[in-house]
């Protein structure tokens, strides 16, 4: 059996020494009692940081610490209270104990780190604590991280909406295009939703510092940006416009599905995903499936080709060339009687200035899409992030550590 001294060295809690120990081999538990080392006498008020030499009382707290091999470890630590003239009777500040919860800082850090690559349920099994506790620890871990870091300036922003479902409807998401990090979530997608971001998150100076915003062709967002960010150029970006083009393809597919009926249904059924994919991303088998469908239905083929060719609009870097390409694209719609695409063409013409802004201000492509994809994957994995604050911190941490930035690389 190791001595108290040896336990002190292995435990390695700076400023503390083990004075009692208990090992239970049957239940695989290790209990250690610690108190301050002789040279570590300065007490700090947890409210204001003022230093004290005297404690007014001492109590014992039990906290879970990292396991020692198969042994679950509990550390019993003496915690003092001080009589602070500013804060009253206050517990001392102990760096090893980040909060009131019964866990040491390094236990919480280990749980938080594990949560970066595994679900709360998996982490719960590994550490032997309930999943709800894991989530609470993870939230504190993320809050400490967020509170200790400097946030980069916002010069280029992305605004997007995420559909949560029938009940909760939409979530508005603001991100920093330069860092690829989500900054804020708001309920719904009204002008008021985005107004709240500008009002509560940014100073007037910060709002003036925003030079560009990638947004969907969605009036409420535009109105809010125009009101709050006077120097901001609105850019209708490729990701959002291609979402509309995909929507148009899907409308054509559905119309054909109902119009033709019978044999056609079998061919078109279940092909939605294929039609929304880029041709370059499909393997030979998938391309063949599409070609079979196109041979039977010219309208669906036309819709697909129109969507694919619209994508090329963003290869142009001069306004004139971009406008010419767009007009040529719209000319192809003549005599096609593809209503969803005629509607899209009109929308594009109505928002032409914002589309051309892509040539005037350089913004990174694909960031809004990547942020959106990461949040959706978190939502899928976590099932019901009731706490939006937690979801945001999680997504921010993910962006900074690039844990799952697959979409980011693909879109670039
Ligand atoms: Zn104080």
- pLDDT higher than 80, residue 407: no
Most confidently modeled range among 163-177, 263-277, 341-355 = 341-355
Ligand 1 geometric centre to CA of 314 (Å): 59
Banded pLDDT at 292 (limits 50, 70, 90): confident
Average pLDDT over residues 3-26: 93
- pLDDT higher than 60, residue 408: no
Closest C-alpha to 158, from 206, 192, 194, 196: 194
Ligand 1 geometric centre to CA of 51 (Å): 9
Ligand 1 geometric centre to CA of 103 (Å): 24
Ligand 1 geometric centre to CA of 44 (Å): 8
pTM for this predicted structure? 0.81
DSSP-derived letter for residue 207 is H
- pLDDT higher than 60, residue 348: yes
Q: How many CB atoms lie within 10 A of CB 409?
A: 10
pLDDT at res. 84: 93
What are the tokens at 358? 């892509």
pLDDT at res. 172: 93
Ligand 1 geometric centre to CA of 60 (Å): 21
Ligand 1 geometric centre to CA of 46 (Å): 6
Ligand 1 geometric centre to CA of 83 (Å): 8
183-241 per-position pLDDT tens digit: 999 988 999 999 999 999 999 999 999 999 999 998 999 999 999 999 999 999 898 99
List alpha helices for 318-405, DSSP H: 319-331, 339-350, 352-360, 367-382, 388-401
Ligand 1 geometric centre to CA of 390 (Å): 30
Ligand 1 geometric centre to CA of 185 (Å): 35
Interacting residues of 109 by C-beta distance below 8 A, sequence separation 6+: 141
Strand 212-215 to strand 29-36: parallel, antiparallel, or no bridges (unpaired)?
A: unpaired
pLDDT at res. 384: 59
- pLDDT higher than 70, residue 173: yes
318-339 per-position pLDDT tens digit: 999 999 999 999 999 988 889 9
Ligand 1 geometric centre to CA of 56 (Å): 13
What are the tokens at 367? 């960031």
CA distance 60 to 34: 9
What's the distance, Cα to Cα, between the start and end of the chain in Å? 58
Ligand 1 geometric centre to CA of 40 (Å): 19
Portion of the chain with pLDDT greater than 90, in percent: 65
Ligand 1 geometric centre to CA of 311 (Å): 61
What are the tokens at 310? 């619209």
Ligand 1 geometric centre to CA of 245 (Å): 61
Ligand 1 geometric centre to CA of 15 (Å): 22
Banded pLDDT at 383 (limits 50, 70, 90): low
DSSP-derived letter for residue 153 is P
Ligand 1 geometric centre to CA of 77 (Å): 21
- pLDDT higher than 80, residue 361: yes
For the packed helices 238-260 and 298-310, what is the interaxial angle rounded to 10 degrees? 180
Ligand 1 geometric centre to CA of 50 (Å): 6
């Amino acid at each position: 059996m190791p001595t108290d001294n040896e336990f002190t060295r292995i435990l390695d809690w700076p400023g503390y020494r083990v004075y009692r120990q208990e090992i239970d081999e049957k239940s695989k538990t290790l209990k250690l009692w610690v108190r301050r080392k002789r040279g570590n006498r300065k007490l700090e008020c947890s409210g204001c940081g003022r230093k004290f030499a005297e404690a007014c009382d001492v109590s014992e707290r039990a906290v879970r610490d990292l396991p020692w091999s198969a042994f679950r470890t509990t550390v019993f630590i003496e915690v003092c209270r001080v009589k602070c003239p500013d804060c009253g009777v206050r517990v001392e500040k102990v760096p090893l104990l980040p909060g009131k919860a019964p866990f040491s800082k390094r236990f919480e850090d280990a749980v938080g780190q594990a949560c970066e690559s595994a679900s709360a349920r998996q982490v719960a099994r590994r550490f032997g604590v309930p999943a709800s506790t894991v989530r609470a620890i993870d939230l504190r871990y993320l809050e400490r991280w967020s509170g200790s870091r400097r946030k980069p300036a916002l010069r280029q922003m992305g605004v997007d909406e995420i559909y949560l479902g029938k009940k909760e409807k939409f979530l508005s998401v603001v991100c920093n295009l330069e860092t690829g990090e989500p900054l804020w979530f708001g309920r719904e997608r009204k002008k008021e939703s985005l107004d709240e971001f500008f009002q509560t998150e940014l100073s007037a100076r910060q709002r003036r510092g925003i030079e560009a915003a990638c947004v969907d062709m969605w009036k409420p967002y535009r109105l809010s940006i125009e009101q709050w960010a006077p120097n901001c150029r609105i850019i209708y970006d490729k990701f959002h416009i291609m979402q509309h083009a995909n929507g148009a393809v899907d409308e054509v597919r559905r119309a054909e599905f109902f119009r033709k009926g019978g044999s056609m249904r079998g061919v078109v059924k279940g092909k939605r995903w294929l039609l929304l994919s880029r041709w370059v991303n499909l393997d030979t088998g998938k391309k063949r499936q599409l070609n079979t469908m196109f041979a039977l239905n010219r309208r669906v083929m036309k819709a697909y080709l129109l969507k694919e060719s619209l994508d090329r609009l963003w290869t142009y870097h001069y306004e004139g060339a971009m406008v010419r390409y767009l007009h040529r694209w719209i000319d192809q719609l003549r005599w096609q009687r593809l209503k969803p695409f005629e509607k899209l063409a009109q929308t594009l013409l109505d928002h032409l200035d914002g589309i051309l802004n892509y040539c005037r201000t350089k913004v990174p492509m694909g960031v809004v899409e990547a942020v959106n994809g990461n949040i959706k994957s978190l939502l899928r994995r976590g099932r019901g992030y009731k706490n939006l604050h937690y979801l945001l911190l999680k997504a921010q941490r993910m962006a900074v550590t690039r844990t799952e930035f697959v979409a980011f690389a693909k879109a670039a």
